[in-house]
Amino acid sequence: MALIWPGASWPTASLAGIAATVLAWCWAIAPAHAQDAIEVTITVKDHAFNPAQIEIPAGKAVALRVKNLDSSPMEFESKSLRVEKVLTGNGEALINIRPQKPGRYEFFDDFHAATTKGVVVVK
């Protein structure tokens, strides 16, 4: 690489460095948090969330397991919960919800935003 682009050695090296650091860091930390959260499961079938409304306690971390039972992909998204995640057809995903203040937090499937909606009610 350095022979072709003498100036590229620095970005190339930092590129590899960043990738390695971020991944190594996450490998170590990510699983630890998932365990102390309350787990809630919702499914998506025929582009509808079930249940479409879930209630969780305020101030508690929640691990929301979303199971996509449709064969087409979807994107679980919530602006207020700061989440966006693509799910494959028949795939599932774990969504981390940080401890929240009481309120209504809407979520939707970004690929079918007009029809596929739900809400997390924090009490």
Position 110 contacts another protein (CB under 8 A):
yes
- DSSP H helices in the chain: 9-34
Position 18 contacts another protein (CB under 8 A):
yes
Q: Please identify, using beta-carbon distances, which residue of 41 and 110 lies nearer to another protein.
A: 110
Name residue, tokens 């620095």. Answer: 10
Tell me the C-alpha distance between 123 and 111, whole Å.
29
Tell me the C-alpha distance between 58 and 108, whole Å.
21
Position 75 contacts another protein (CB under 8 A):
yes
Q: Which residues bind another protein (CB under 8 A)?
A: 5-8, 10-11, 14-15, 18-19, 22-23, 25-27, 29-31, 33-34, 70-75, 79-80, 82-89, 91, 93-94, 96, 98, 110-111, 114
